A and B are shown apart, each in its own frame.
Chain A
Amino acid sequence: MEGSPPQLHVPPPPALPGYAKHLSTVVGGFYALHHFFQLQMVWVVLLSLLCYLVLFLCRHSAHRGVFLSITILIYLLMGEMHMVDTVTWHKMRGAQMIVAMKAVSLGFDLDRGELPAVPSPVEFMGYIYFVGTAIFGPWSRFRSYLQAVESRALSLPWLRKVSRSLLLSIICLLVSTCVAPYLFSYFIPLYGYRQLRKRKRKARWLRAYESAISFHFSSYFVGFLSEATATLAGAGFTEEKDNLKWDLTVSRPLNVELPRSMVEVVTSWNLPMSSWLNSYVFKNSLQLGTFSAVIVTYAASALLHGLSFHLAAVLLSLGFITYVEHVLRKRLSVIFDACLLSKRCPPGCPHRHNTNLWVRLLNLLFGVLAVFHLAYLGSLFDIDADDTVEEQGYSMSYTIYKWSELSWASHWVTFGCWVFYRLIG
């Protein structure tokens, strides 16, 4: 620039060719993966190569989604069967889950004709290793990846969104590590720290709640962090006409901590994940019947999370709990003609009773029941558990021990609700 006359108009730099952009996201993703997993990242790379191979081989088939799902299923099962050592596998689980979700969604989107053609290898790898979502997620569609690569101008709302997410993630990390484990001994001093660890019944429930809160906030931390990384990388916006909104939301902590229903909890836990499960598993398996579809969905989720016994137990229990809650509340809302459904009623809802005190009280009761279920389920993720246990996943005996300590209360309550539902039906 030196010596040249001052220019009033700087021409825009020539646009990068598409493949260069995809390649750069691959490089960024590889760097991030290597930073977090070092050489263990080969397992993720292997999975992605396998996926593209299958996609390429079945490029003329109409069931690419199914083939990809089966490939991933076999790969994950082999990994779970101790093909890889447990600690490594457990560490890679999150990244693998993202790859699996992206590949399966791509396959089904192609089958449904939502995407015109099988993406080129560079595009595919760029999508899989997109630097903003490779480590912590969240899952995003291929279409939104393409939009992100097209790139939008960085603006003040973008910066605001990133800093908000980062700040919230740090706060959640702090709560998870430093506040939740001492919630009932220091922050709300109901019991002494040691008393809480004695095996008294009431203390056990308080401990379970502490563990659950700690686990929840750890998950929100990852959620907000993934929001931040994805937004930083230029993804996670919606466009309405000319209005660009950076509104990626991964989890809604308030809906989980102060829930209306368990259904609300499981959707607010990880919104992209639940939308993925909804559109690629639940809708595809609806032909089996609602209950079977619910169970298949939770089974798929358990498989994606790694086939550890405790996660499968939690997710299947969640399946039963949400199903029973859903049908019971539906029946009650019909009987009383009131807004008692698992989901919040829209403003102009057809029920007669909407804002009465007893309706609110009943909803509150279901909310309290949801908190009770959450404490019960969360008790498994004990903060005092051994580090090796946490790194390798919890075993079956541990799950059974923890739940029998709480006398299987949540399962009994769910069973009771189901019996009640059959009685009034």
Chain B
Amino acid sequence: MRPVALIVGFKTLWVLAFSSLSNTLAVNNSGRWWGIINVASSTNLLTDSKNVQLVLDPSLQLLSRRQRKLIRQNPGVLHSVSSGLQSAIQECKWQFRNRRWNCPTTQGPHIFGKIVNRGEAAGGSRRGQGSERGRPAVIVAKRRGKLSANRAGPVLQTVFSEMRQECKCHGMSGSCTVKTCWMRLPTFRTVGDFLKDRFDGASRVIYGNKGSNRASRVEGPHLEPENPAHKPPSLHDLVYFEKSPNFCTYSGKTGMAGTAGRFCNSSSPALDGCELLCCGRGYRTRTQRVTERCNCTFHWCCHVSCLNCTNTQVLHECL
């Protein structure tokens, strides 16, 4: 796991570096820079080290000037950023696979569709992922005043707090006289699970009018939970201002495809159950015969023989 974690971790950091940049510099098109994933994966313009082409490429206009400068200075970075983005999108799809909003992506510059850019007036969505619960925004990212150490919010905090020390012993014949130790970054999945956990616990907030004017000018707007019974959000919580659409049906305004045609779990009472996922519209059940290779055996040398197994799968599909 070690190097994978390390590399994934570096990617995460790059993503974080870029996303924090996008927060501070390109608030008005936050989420658009994700579109470079298509640029980097569709063309091989990065394979030559001449970065002139890079700068001239119109698709890179998605980035802010400072981001472009970063890429110009470190030509290999775009590759890492792109594969980091791919891991991030994969992780997003996996984390949200059972929800109505299952992290759909599109080709083109707006990779998450229009949903990401909605509600920018409220301050810009940090994660850029809307959902049934609302679009969480990191409270610290909103504080336009003091954004010192905590700017990156829960993601970096998770990355650092989940780091584990690993050691190796050195000594006469394996005794532990000296140890070399290093920090190992958490896996992408660990960070993803952590953030999803925060996401599930996200609460809606409103701008409060407590406190003096002076304090609010220094600290930024004061956020209060919408429900007074809830605790005020801490620096590590995800919060949202605006309720999300329900994502049930096709909507041109948000660019959502709706849940028609999604497969659901007929026995689950949770979000992936047919009742909730199909928004009460009901589902159609069909059986499907799947032929797979099974009971494979290896014969020396070098031939693999398998049997064909036919299974019947029952699929439920939202109407």
Contact = CB atoms under 8 A, between A and B. Distances in A.
Nearest to B165: A387
Given A136-B177, A181-B2, A182-B3, A218 B172 contact: no
A135 B4 CA distance: 36
Interface string A33-60: 0001000000000000000000000000
Contacts of B168: 176-177, 214, 218, 383, 390
Interface string B213-250: 00000000000000000000000000000000000000
A193 B168 CA distance: 19
A94 B4 contact: no
B177 A91 contact: yes
A97 interface: yes
Contacts of B197: none
A82 interface: no
B314 interface: no
B305 interface: no
A236 interface: no
A227 to B, nearest CB: 13
Nearest to B180: A177
B3 A219 contact: no
Given A193-B3, A194-B4, A93 B166 contact: no
A185 interface: yes
A311 interface: yes
Contact of B172 (A94, A181, A182, A186): A94
A262 interface: no
Contacts of B182: 177
A222 B172 contact: yes
Contacts of B172: 93-94, 97-98, 136-137, 219, 222, 270, 305
A20 B161 CA distance: 53
B3 A387 contact: no
B294 interface: no
Contact of A186 (B3, B169, B170, B177): B3
Nearest to B4: A193
A209 interface: no
Contact of B176 (A91, A135, A176): A91
B177 A391 contact: no
B171 A94 contact: yes
Given A91-B177, A135-B177, A222 B3 contact: no
A36 B177 contact: yes
B73 interface: no
Interface string A172-204: 010011000110011000000110010000000
Nearest to A174: B180
Q: How large is the interface on B (under 10, 10 to 19, 20 to 34, 35 or more residues)?
A: 10 to 19
A29 interface: no
B170 A93 contact: no
Interface string B156-195: 0000000000111111111111101010000000000000
Q: Which of A90, A181, A194, A270 has the most CB of B within 10 A?
A: A90
Interface in A365-416: 381, 383, 387, 390-391
A311 B174 contact: yes
Contact of B170 (A182, A221, A270, A383): A221
B176 A391 contact: yes
A126 interface: no
Contacts of A381: 174
Q: Give the secondary structure class of A's interface.
A: helix
Interface in A64-99: 87, 90-95, 97-98
B171 A390 contact: no
Interface residues of A, number: 38
Contact of A94 (B2, B166, B175): B175
A306 interface: yes
A173 B173 contact: no
Contact of B174 (A87, A197, A219): A219
Contacts of A218: 168-170, 174
A70 to B, nearest CB: 23
B169 A390 contact: yes
Interface string A288-330: 0000000000000000011000010000000000000000000
Contacts of A95: 177
A215 interface: yes
B298 to A, nearest CB: 10
B3 to A, nearest CB: 6
A90 B174 CA distance: 9
Contacts of A222: 170-172, 177
B301 to A, nearest CB: 12
Contacts of A391: 169, 176
| Best-buried of B3, B170, B178, B180 by chain A (most CB within 10 Å) | B170
A136 B178 CA distance: 10
A270 B174 CA distance: 13
Nearest to A219: B173
B3 A306 contact: no
Nearest to B168: A177
A317 to B, nearest CB: 15
Contact of A390 (B2, B173, B176, B178): B176
A387 B167 contact: yes
Contacts of B177: 36, 91, 94-95, 135-136, 222
A224 B214 CA distance: 65
Contacts of A137: 172
Contacts of A221: 170
Contacts of A98: 172
A305 B172 CA distance: 8
B175 A90 contact: yes
Nearest to A391: B176
23 contacts: A36-B178, A90-B176, A91-B176, A92-B175, A93-B175, A94-B177, A97-B172, A136-B172, A136-B177, A177-B168, A177-B180, A193-B4, A194-B1, A218-B169, A219-B172, A219-B174, A222-B171, A222-B177, A270-B172, A306-B175, A311-B174, A387-B167, A390-B176
Given A90-B175, A94-B173, 19 more contacts: A36-B177, A87-B176, A91-B175, A93-B172, A94-B177, A97-B172, A97-B173, A137-B172, A177-B168, A182-B3, A185-B3, A193-B1, A193-B3, A194-B4, A218-B169, A218-B174, A219-B172, A387-B167, A390-B176
Q: Report, nearest first, the 4 A-B pairs whose CB atoms are least far apart.
A: A94-B172, A93-B175, A94-B175, A94-B171
